[in-house]
Chain A
Amino acid sequence: MPNIKKIQKKLSKEYGDKVQVTFENDIIRLTGELDNWDDVFAACSMAATKNSKIHVVNDIKFTGDKIPPMRVPSLVDTTLEGKTPDVLVIGGGISGCAIARELSKWNIDVMLIEKNADFAMGASGANDGEVHVGFDLSKGSLKQKYVLLGNHMYDKLCSDLSVPFRREGQYALFTQSWLFLPVLFFCIWRKYHDGVTDTHFLTRRKILKAEPTFDRRIRFGVYNHSAGVVCPYGLTIAYAENAVENGAEAYLNTAVLSIDTDDNGVITAVNTNRGTIKPKIVVNAAGVFADDIAEMANDRFYSIHPRRGTNSIQDRKSAKIIDTIASVQHIDLKQQSKSHTKGGGLMRTVHDNILAGPDAVECYAKEDTATHPESIKVTYDKQKGTVPLASERDIITYFTGVRAPTFEEDFVIEWGRNCGNLFHCGGIQSPGLTAAPAFALDIEMMIVERLSKMMTVEKKTKWQPKRQAVPVLKDMSPAKRAALIAKNPDYGVIICRCEEISKGEIIDALNRPLCPPTVDAIKKRIRPGMGRCQGGFCSPLVTKIIAEHEHCTLSDVKKSSAEAVICYGETKGGDTE
C-alpha cells in the first residue's frame, strides 16, 4: 500500500499544484499538467516503487509538444473480417512471436498480428542482441526470474530455430579502486542470494592477459561466461516463421484500432484496419503501445514511458578489437544518477561487427527512432574507456530503438485486472530478449489452462520445433558450396559483395513463409546491404530480383512499408503512374 500523502508531498514540493496523485483500484494515478517531459518522467518515477505490482499510471497532460499518434498502416481491407482465432497475439516483436510459437504446439487457432511492414520493427529489431546473465538484477522481480531461465534456454532454442548465437562472456570493468570490496561483496551476494552462479571476479592482470585490447586503466572486473550474443531480429523472425510452419496465422500491416468489451469486461471484438477479429483470448504484446492496448480494453493499470537507445555498428574490419561483451562502469557518488545503461557496452555481434551502445534517453514519442549525434558521442566517449581502439571512424551504421519500460521497471506478465480474456505481456525491456523464451513458456501454460476451460485443448502430435534457415553459403566449405551451386546455379551469383550473399539465398529468403517482398525484409533476413557499402551496390540488384520474383515492376518494390517508395517509375516512355 503506497503512502499517497507522502508521494503528493514530494510532488508538490517539486511541481507545486501542477501534479496530483490518487490511489484507487490498486493504481497510483498521476494527473495534472506539465510542459517538460523530463518532469513528467521524474514525477511518475517519484511515485513508483521499483518492481512493485502496484503501478503508476501516467495521466499527466504533457503540454510541451504534440505527442504523435500511433502510426497506422495505410492498408485497409477485410482479410481478417469475422475471423475467430482462439488466441490473438498483438505485436510481432520478440514477445509476441515467441508466444505465438509456443502456442503453436497446441491444436488451437493462433493469430499473430503486427502493425508494421515486418516483424521485429520495434525494440526487438533495434536491439543490441545481448543475452544477459542478470548480474545487475535483484531477486523478486520478473525480470530476474526470467532472465536466469531464459539465458539457459538459448543454446537449444537457437539450434532448433537455426539462429546465430554465441556465448562470448561479458565483462563489467572498473577503474575505481575503492569499488573493489563493494563489487566483490556484490558478486558474492548475487551468487548466493540471486543465483547468478557463473560470476568470476578478475584482477587487472588476468583481464588484460585474456583481453589485451582493453583499456590499461582498468583495475579489476567481473566476468560472466554465460553471457551471449544473438541476432535479435533473426530470432524474432525465426519464432514467427516457426509458429506459422506449425499452423499459426500471422498478418503484417495489421494494427489494432479499437477493442470492444462487454459488460463483464470481456473482449468481444478487436477492430483492425483489416477487419474485426473475434478472439477468445487476446495477448497484449504490443511493446511501447501495450498501455494503449490496455486502455482500449479498459484495463490500463500501468504506463509505458518510452526510452530510446541508439546502437552503432562498426565495419567487420574492426572486429578484432573485441570478441566478447564489455563495458566500463563508473560510479559517481555525487551524481545521483537514475540513468539506465547510459552509453551501453561494446560487443562483437554474431555477424562479427562491433556494436557500441545503446544509450538511454527518455522520450515521449513512442516511435521516434530518429538518431542524434549526441548518442554516438555519449557511447563512444564511454566505450573508448573499455577498448581504446573503438572508433567512430569505423561506424557503418547506427539505429535507434525505443524501449517499453513501466515506471516500476519490471515486466508485466499477468491476466488483465479488469478484462478477463486479456493477457498482458507488457513493460518488456532489457533483458526482454533474454527473458522472452522463458516467459513465453509460462504464458503458453497460463493461456492453455484458461482456454481449456472453454474448449478441448490438446498438444499437436506433429509439432515441429526445428526451423530450417536459408543456407549461408559463405560459411560453407568449398565442396559443400559447390554442391549447392550445382543444384541451383543462383547460389553462385554474388549480389551483395560486402556480405557475400548470392541471388539464390535472396530467392530462398523470398520463398520463406512471412517474408515481405521488400528490400529491408531481405536485408533483415539474410543481410544484403548490412555491410560497409550499406546497400550502395546491391540495393538496385536486390530490387530487381524482388520485382522478378514477385512479377511486378521495379517501382512496386518498396524499402519497407507501402509508402517507402524506392523509385517513381520509368524515366521515359510507357510507364504512366
Chain B
Amino acid sequence: MIRTCDVLVIGGGPAGLAAAIAADKEGAKVILIERESRLGGILKQCIHDGFGLVRFKEKLSGPEYAERFIDEFKSRGIEAKTLTFVTSVERISTGFKATVVSREGVEVIETKSLILATGCRERTSKQVFIHGTRPSGVFTAGTAQHFTNLLGQLPTKRCVILGSGDIGLIMARRLTLEGAKVLGVYEVKPTPSGLTRNIHQCLNDFDIPLHLSHTVTRVFGQDRLEAVEVAKVDDKMRAIPGTEEIIECDALILSVGLIPENEIAETLEVQIDGRTKGPRCDASLMTTVPGIFSCGNALHVNDLVDYVSESGETAGKNAAHFALGTERVLVDIKPNENILYIVPQTLDINKKNDDVVVYFRSKEVFNKATFRIIADGKIVFEKKYAFLRPPEMEKIVADFSKFNLREYSKITAEVEVDAK
C-alpha cells in the first residue's frame, strides 16, 4: 500500500514538530516520521531550563518546551508515525518516495515535498583523535545525558569533561547535582565554546574549573577508564610536550562539537555547505533540490531551540506551498572572512525576499563590529554589535525587495571589525 501526503517531515524533534504544525496551518496534508517511540527529539533528555525565552518569554525545561509543541501537534490531528525509521528516499516524478520500516512492516509514502528535520549528532572521541586504550567510561555528553536523564543511571562518579560546548557545561552541573565529582572542564580553544551564562551557572556556581587551551590527549584503563592525560596546547591547538598531566577519574565526557545529520540529504544529492555542514538553502529553507527543505540542527547547529522552531516553521510553511515546476533563480550570499557561516546561503530572486531571516556566526570573538549585507554595492542591511562571539548565533531580518536583484547580482555579507 502506498500512502500519499503533501509534506513529509522526517524527524519529530523541535524543528520537525514546528515544521509539521506550520505546514498543517497552511492546509497541507502532513505526515511526520519519528524513529523514537516519543516525539520531542533530544529535548526529551534536556531536562534543564532556559528553553523558550525568546518564543514564550518563559524559562522552560526541554520536555516542557517540546510538549507545548506536541500538544498543539496532537490537537491539530497531524499524523505522526513514531518508532518508524526512514530507510531510503528516492525522487519520483510527483515528488519523493520514502520507504519506512516500523513494527507494522515496510511502508512506502509518496510526498510532494520533504522536510529534513533530522537534527545533529555528536563528534566522538576518535574524531578528535584521543588515543590510548578503549575502556568503558568514554561518553559523549549526550550519551551521558541519556543515561542520566532518561534511564536514571549514573554514568560516572568522578569525571573530566573535554569541550566547553553547552551540553558539556550543562552535564557538568547535572552530574554534580546527581552526586558525581566533575574534576574540570578542558577546552582546546582559548575561548569557551558554550554560552557565557552556562559557564557561570554550570561551572562557577559549583567551583568546577575551566581550563582553556588544554586538551585530553590519552585515556588509560583496560576495563573501565582509570585516568586521562591532559596537556596544554599551543596556538595551533597542538599539545605542548612536557605539559602533560595525568588525572585519575572514571570517565571522560566529550562535548566537542555537533555535526548536522544529513545522510538522507546526501543520498538525494542535496548540496551541503562546508561551513554549516548542513544543506545550502534559500530564504524559504529549500535546499538545492527543489521540494526538499531543511530546518533545525540538520540545517546548522543552533544554540537556542527557539531558532530551531523558527526555522522549522519557515520550512513547514514554504513546503506546504511548494509546487512542482516553479522556477528558481538562486544567487549566492557570499560571507566574508570574519563570518563563520551564514544561513540562508542563497536567495531565489524570483521571490519577494522582503523579510529574509538571516542567521550568522562570527568566526572569532569581536568587540565592536558591524554586520552588513550588500547587494550590488548597496547596503541592504547594517547593524552594529557591541560584541560578536562564535558560540552565540545572531539573527537578523533583511528586506531585499527594493534592491531589484538579478541573476548576475552580487550579494555579500560581511562583518567589519571596529576593534578586536
**Residues of A bordering B, CB below 8 Å:** 71, 317, 367, 369-373, 376, 392, 395-399, 473-474, 478-479, 481-482, 485-486, 489-490, 492-494, 497, 500, 502, 532-537, 539-540, 543-544, 554-555, 558-572
- Give chain A residues whose Cβ lies under 8 Å from the Cβ of B179: 571
Q: Are A571 and B154 in contact (CB under 8 A)?
A: yes
Q: Are A558 and B136 in contact (CB under 8 A)?
A: yes
Known A533-B121, A564-B136, A569-B153: A371·B131 in contact at CB below 8 Å: yes
Q: Is B4 an interface residue when CB atoms closer than 8 A count as contact? A: no
Q: Are A397 and B126 in contact (CB under 8 A)?
A: yes
- Give chain B residues whose Cβ lies under 8 Å from the Cβ of A396: 124, 126-127
4 shortest interchain CB distances as A-B pairs: A563-B223, A559-B136, A489-B103, A567-B153
Interface residues on B, range: 35 or more
**Contact string against A for B residues 365-403, beta-carbon threshold 8 Å, 1 for contact and 0 otherwise:** 000000000000000000000000000000000000000
- Give chain A residues whose Cβ lies under 8 Å from the Cβ of B133: 369-370
Q: Are A536 and B153 in contact (CB under 8 A)?
A: no
Q: Which residues of chain B in 72-112 are interfacial with respect to chain A, using CB atoms and an 8 Å cutoff?
A: 83, 85, 87, 99, 101-106, 108
- Can you offer 28 A-B residue contacts whose CB atoms are under 8 A? A369-B134, A376-B129, A396-B127, A398-B126, A474-B87, A489-B103, A490-B103, A497-B35, A533-B124, A534-B124, A534-B125, A536-B121, A536-B122, A537-B142, A539-B143, A544-B151, A554-B153, A555-B153, A563-B224, A564-B136, A565-B223, A567-B154, A568-B153, A569-B153, A570-B152, A570-B153, A570-B154, A571-B148
Distance in angstroms between the alpha carbons of A104 and B108 in the assembled complex:
47
A sample of 12 more A-B contacts (CB under 8 A), given A370-B132, A561-B223, A562-B223, is A370-B218, A397-B126, A398-B126, A481-B101, A485-B104, A489-B104, A492-B106, A534-B126, A560-B136, A565-B223, A565-B224, A570-B152
Name the distance in Å between A406's Cβ and chain B's nearest Cβ: 26
- Which of B85, B178, B224 contacts A571, CB < 8 Å? B178
Name the distance in Å between A559's Cβ and chain B's nearest Cβ: 4
Name the distance in Å between A547's Cβ and chain B's nearest Cβ: 10
Known A485-B103, A569-B154: A564·B127 in contact at CB below 8 Å: no
Closest to B145 in A: A540
Q: Which residues of chain B in 116-141 are interfacial with respect to chain A, using CB atoms and an 8 Å cutoff?
A: 121-122, 124-127, 129, 131-137, 140
Q: Is B189 an interface residue when CB atoms closer than 8 A count as contact? A: no
Name the distance in Å between A315's Cβ and chain B's nearest Cβ: 10
Q: Are A540 and B146 in contact (CB under 8 A)?
A: yes
Q: Are A540 and B135 in contact (CB under 8 A)?
A: no
Q: Are B152 and A572 in contact (CB under 8 A)?
A: yes
Q: Is B53 an interface residue when CB atoms closer than 8 A count as contact? A: no
Q: Are B101 and A492 in contact (CB under 8 A)?
A: yes
Known A544-B151, A568-B156: A485·B106 in contact at CB below 8 Å: yes
Q: Are B223 and A560 in contact (CB under 8 A)?
A: yes
Distance in angstroms between the alpha carbons of A497 and B10 in the assembled complex:
14
- Give chain B residues whose Cβ lies under 8 Å from the Cβ of A367: 222
Known A396-B126, A536-B142, A560-B136: A492·B103 in contact at CB below 8 Å: yes
Q: Is B352 an interface residue when CB atoms closer than 8 A count as contact? A: no
**Contact string against A for B residues 239-267, beta-carbon threshold 8 Å, 1 for contact and 0 otherwise:** 00000000000000000000000000010
Name the distance in Å between B149's Cβ and chain A's nearest Cβ: 9
Distance in angstroms between the alpha carbons of A379 and B127 in the assembled complex:
17
- Which of A473, A493, A564 contacts B224, CB < 8 Å? A564
Known A540-B143, A568-B155: A71·B222 in contact at CB below 8 Å: yes
Distance in angstroms between the alpha carbons of A534 and B139 in the assembled complex:
10
Q: Are B136 and A566 in contact (CB under 8 A)?
A: yes
**Contact string against A for B residues 141-178, beta-carbon threshold 8 Å, 1 for contact and 0 otherwise:** 01100111011111111000000000000000000001
- Give chain B residues whose Cβ lies under 8 Å from the Cβ of A370: 131-133, 218
Q: Are B134 and A492 in contact (CB under 8 A)?
A: no
Distance in angstroms between the alpha carbons of A486 and B223 in the assembled complex:
40
Closest to A394 in B: B127
Q: Are B126 and A395 in contact (CB under 8 A)?
A: yes
- Which of A478, A490, A494, A570 contacts B35, CB < 8 Å? A494
Closest to B124 in A: A534
Q: Are A566 and B155 in contact (CB under 8 A)?
A: yes
Closest to A490 in B: B103
Distance in angstroms between the alpha carbons of A567 and B122 in the assembled complex:
20
Which of B104, B106, B152, B154 gathers the greatest number of chain A CB atoms within 10 Å?
Answer: B106
Distance in angstroms between the alpha carbons of A502 and B224 in the assembled complex:
27
Q: Are B105 and A540 in contact (CB under 8 A)?
A: no
- Give chain B residues whose Cβ lies under 8 Å from the Cβ of A474: 87
- Which of A397, A490, A544, A564 contacts B135, CB < 8 Å? A564
Q: Are A481 and B106 in contact (CB under 8 A)?
A: yes
- Give chain B residues whose Cβ lies under 8 Å from the Cβ of A540: 143, 146-147, 150-151
- Give chain B residues whose Cβ lies under 8 Å from the Cβ of A392: 129
- Give chain A residues whose Cβ lies under 8 Å from the Cβ of B147: 540, 566-567
Closest to B103 in A: A489
Distance in angstroms between the alpha carbons of A543 and B151 in the assembled complex:
10
Name the distance in Å between B270's Cβ and chain A's nearest Cβ: 14
Q: Are B99 and A478 in contact (CB under 8 A)?
A: yes
Name the distance in Å between B136's Cβ and chain A's nearest Cβ: 4
Distance in angstroms between the alpha carbons of A482 and B1 in the assembled complex:
12
Name the distance in Å between A264's Cβ and chain B's nearest Cβ: 39
- Which of B106, B124, B266 contacts A317, CB < 8 Å? B266
Distance in angstroms between the alpha carbons of A564 and B121 in the assembled complex:
25
Q: Are B105 and A494 in contact (CB under 8 A)?
A: no
Name the distance in Å between A522's Cβ and chain B's nearest Cβ: 14
Q: Are A372 and B223 in contact (CB under 8 A)?
A: no
Name the distance in Å between B248's Cβ and chain A's nearest Cβ: 16
Name the distance in Å between B345's Cβ and chain A's nearest Cβ: 21
Closest to B105 in A: A482
- Give chain A residues whose Cβ lies under 8 Å from the Cβ of B122: 533, 536
- Give chain A residues whose Cβ lies under 8 Å from the Cβ of B153: 554-555, 567-571
Closest to A532 in B: B121
Distance in angstroms between the alpha carbons of A562 and B156 in the assembled complex:
17
- Give chain A residues whose Cβ lies under 8 Å from the Cβ of B152: 570-572
Closest to B254 in A: A536
Name the distance in Å between B343's Cβ and chain A's nearest Cβ: 23
Distance in angstroms between the alpha carbons of A567 and B134 in the assembled complex:
16
Which of B35, B108, B143, B156 gathers the greatest number of chain A CB atoms within 10 Å?
Answer: B143
- Give chain B residues whose Cβ lies under 8 Å from the Cβ of A369: 133-134
Name the distance in Å between B228's Cβ and chain A's nearest Cβ: 13
- Give chain B residues whose Cβ lies under 8 Å from the Cβ of A492: 83, 101-106
Distance in angstroms between the alpha carbons of A543 and B150 in the assembled complex:
13
Q: Are B134 and A399 in contact (CB under 8 A)?
A: yes
Q: Are B87 and A500 in contact (CB under 8 A)?
A: yes
Closest to B157 in A: A568
Name the distance in Å between A163's Cβ and chain B's nearest Cβ: 24
Name the distance in Å between B162's Cβ and chain A's nearest Cβ: 14
- Give chain B residues whose Cβ lies under 8 Å from the Cβ of A482: 105-106
- Give chain A residues whose Cβ lies under 8 Å from the Cβ of B178: 571-572
Distance in angstroms between the alpha carbons of A188 and B106 in the assembled complex:
54
Name the distance in Å between B332's Cβ and chain A's nearest Cβ: 25
- Which of B85, B126, B140, B154 contacts A568, CB < 8 Å? B154
- Give chain B residues whose Cβ lies under 8 Å from the Cβ of A569: 153-154
- Give chain A residues whose Cβ lies under 8 Å from the Cβ of B105: 481-482, 485-486, 492
Name the distance in Å between A436's Cβ and chain B's nearest Cβ: 25
Closest to B121 in A: A533
- Give chain A residues whose Cβ lies under 8 Å from the Cβ of B156: 568
Q: Are A567 and B224 in contact (CB under 8 A)?
A: no
Closest to A481 in B: B106
Distance in angstroms between the alpha carbons of A561 and B222 in the assembled complex:
9
- Give chain A residues whose Cβ lies under 8 Å from the Cβ of B35: 494, 497
Closest to A317 in B: B266
Q: Are A500 and B85 in contact (CB under 8 A)?
A: yes
Closest to A553 in B: B153
